[in-house]
Amino acid sequence: MRTTFDLSPFARSTIGFDRMLRLLDSAAPAGEGPSYPPYNIVKTGEDRYRIAVAVAGFAEDELEVKTQDGQLSIRSLPASAEDQTDLAYLHRGIARRAFELRFSLADHIEVKGATLANGLLDIELVREVPEAMKPRTVTIAKAGENKALPGQKAA
HEC string of 54-82 equals ECCCCCHHHEEEEEECCEEEEEECCCCHH
Ranges 9-18, 29-38, 117-126, most confident? 117-126
Of the candidates 114, 103, 109, the one whose C-alpha atom is nearest the C-alpha of residue 127 is: 109
Identify the CATH class of 36-129: mainly beta
What pTM value is reported for the model? Answer: 0.62
Phi, psi of 12 (to 5 degrees): -75, -20
pLDDT digits (tens, 9 = 90+) for 128-155: 877 777 788 888 888 876 666 666 665 5
pLDDT digits (tens, 9 = 90+) for 21-34: 554 443 334 454 56
